[in-house]
Structure 1
Amino acid sequence: MKVCTDSCVFGAYVKVAEAQRILDIGTGTGLLSLMAAQRSKGLVEAVEINPAAQVQALQNFKISKWSDQLKLHSVSLQEFAKYNQQQYDVILSNPPFFLSSLKSTDEAKNAARHTEALFFQEILRFAQQHLTENGKLYLLLPPAEAAIFARLAKAHDLHLAEVLQIFTYHGGKCIRHIQSYTFNAVTAPDVRDFFIREEDKATYTSQFAELLRDYYLIF
């Protein structure tokens, strides 16, 4: 499973320094959990249903410097919700999504969006029950899917507080949104732009370099 640049931006962006307990939903190879553990002294728990990803995440956790902070739950989110008794200061997820624009028929698009909505509802139900009063839920999604999630969140008393719009380069297209949600009322979300590369499409921006300095060896 590839380590994507947008996932690295997400892992470096989420505010975890003061969190005592963090949950990574759909950890994959454990990238986001490992990045969170580097900036927090709290416990980082991860949920993953895919067997191959579970093996990789567990291996990555064990050989890291932060293994004592990391815990993997090899179950679905639905199963985890049945026995979990903990509350989390930060819940983060880069959930599986379907790029509906790649589907060839309206029927396929509708099916994909229906599947997304079902899983999004599971995340929201879990967050509503297990996020601390002043905690934050973070999502990384393409713009279209982010809009769907924002609409669904309203029914779960979660308010969109921040949006970081990630662009491939200056003058390029917006590829992802990082969203943060809170139980606290928000008049309007704080929306900002983030550019990975300059207009030459080769040079990293100072914005990117500053955020990823602690993770990328090239800076």
Structure 2
Amino acid sequence: MKPFTFKQFEIQQSKDVFRVGTDGVLLGALTYVNAASKVLEVGTGTGLISLMLAQRNSKAKFLGIDINEEAANLTKLNFENSPFKSRLKNVHQDFKKFESKEKFDLIISNPPYFEESNSGKDKIARQTIELNFKQLISKSAELLSQEGIFSVIIPMEAGTDFIRIASENQFFLIRKINIKGIETANIKRLILEFSLIEKKLEESEFVIEKSPRQYSDQYLELTKEFHIFKGRN
């Protein structure tokens, strides 16, 4: 499968691992990472999000984890081929069984979000078979540092349940980005950031396209250090 080329790194892809997509790019570009020194990505896939965050924060160290062996191997390849390789590590492991003596300043995930179905397409990456929201949230609460951030991107319709489960695990919602495909459309995705410390909620809106297949100025500005756009430097 054709690799996906960014300005500072390249993503090798596989038909059996969830490919580079807009959700991952948005999470990698919008999540607050500047204050983090230790970052954990849950469900790395290709390693895209960690690579974007490593480009944005030149001092942080990253650990990626994925239960899918092929995804873990692909992440390792993409990490090793990147200019940030000295700060990137990954493991093939079930997050539910993951243990760490150290806490993380940022835990980030583009988690499975569909209930189990008969579809075999991207089964582990898309469906909540191996890791559901409650498991992801409760384990992240154990591993997050006191002033750390837990960040995810999920479908809008899952937002209420996700926020409720997070609250039950002593997480406070501190940032919410409502993402629209185009300006006139309904909200399709949410980026949610949580903290173990209560803070004032910061809420904003992000529009991906100004018209079908035409990126918005907001998206072009956000991703200008990552994407290679035709006709743009």
Given the two structures, how large is their TM-score scaled by the length of structure 1?
Answer: 0.86
More helix per residue: 1 or 2? 1
Name the counterpart of 2:122: none
Name the counterpart of 2:72: 54
Of 195, 200, 203, which residue of structure 1 is paired with 2:207?
A: 195
Name the counterpart of 1:206: 217
Give the Cα–Cα distance (whole angstroms) in 2 for the partners of residues 23 and 193 of structure 1.
26
Alignment of 1:107-186 (within 5 A): 115=128, 119-186=132-199
Cα offset for 1:9? 1.0
Cα offset for 1:78? 1.5
SS at match of 2:215: coil
Which structure 1 segments of 5+ residues have no match? 104-114
Identity %: 28
Cα offset for 1:99? 6.3
1:132-169 alpha-carbon deviations (Å, 9 max, x no partner): 11111001100122221101011111011111111111
Residue type matched to 2:225 in 1? D
SS at match of 2:97: helix
Of 35, 38, 54, which residue of structure 2 is paired with 1:18?
A: 35
Of 51, 62, 73, which residue of structure 1 is paired with 2:91?
A: 73
Q: RMSD of the alignment, in Å? A: 2.1
Does the Cα contact within 8 Å between 1:25 and 1:91 map onto a contact in 2? Answer: yes
Residue type matched to 1:214 in 2? E
Cα offset for 1:18? 2.3
Name the counterpart of 1:38: 55
Give the Cα–Cα distance (whole angstroms) in 2 for the partners of residues 11 and 24 of structure 1.
11
SS at match of 2:32: coil
Distance 1:26 1:197, change over 3 A: same
Cα offset for 1:8? 0.4
Of 91, 96, 107, which residue of structure 1 is paired with 2:112?
A: 96
Cα offset for 1:127? 2.1
Which structure 2 segments of 5+ residues have no match? 1-17, 119-127
Give the Cα–Cα distance (whole angstroms) in 1 for the partners of residues 45 and 102 of structure 2.
22
Does the Cα contact within 8 Å between 1:73 and 1:80 map onto a contact in 2? Answer: no
Residue type matched to 1:20 in 2? S
Given the two structures, how large is their TM-score scaled by the length of structure 2?
Answer: 0.81
Residue type matched to 2:207 in 1? F
1:87-106 alpha-carbon deviations (Å, 9 max, x no partner): 11111000011069x99xxx
SS at match of 1:175: strand
Matched, 1:4 2:16: no
Give the Cα–Cα distance (whole angstroms) in 2 for the partners of residues 15 and 74 of structure 1.
26
Give the Cα–Cα distance (whole angstroms) in 2 for the partners of residues 55 and 89 of structure 1.
25
Does the Cα contact within 8 Å between 2:23 and 2:110 map onto a contact in 1? Answer: no
Cα offset for 1:121? 1.8
Moved over 4 A (4+): none
Of 14, 29, 37, which residue of structure 1 is paired with 2:46?
A: 29
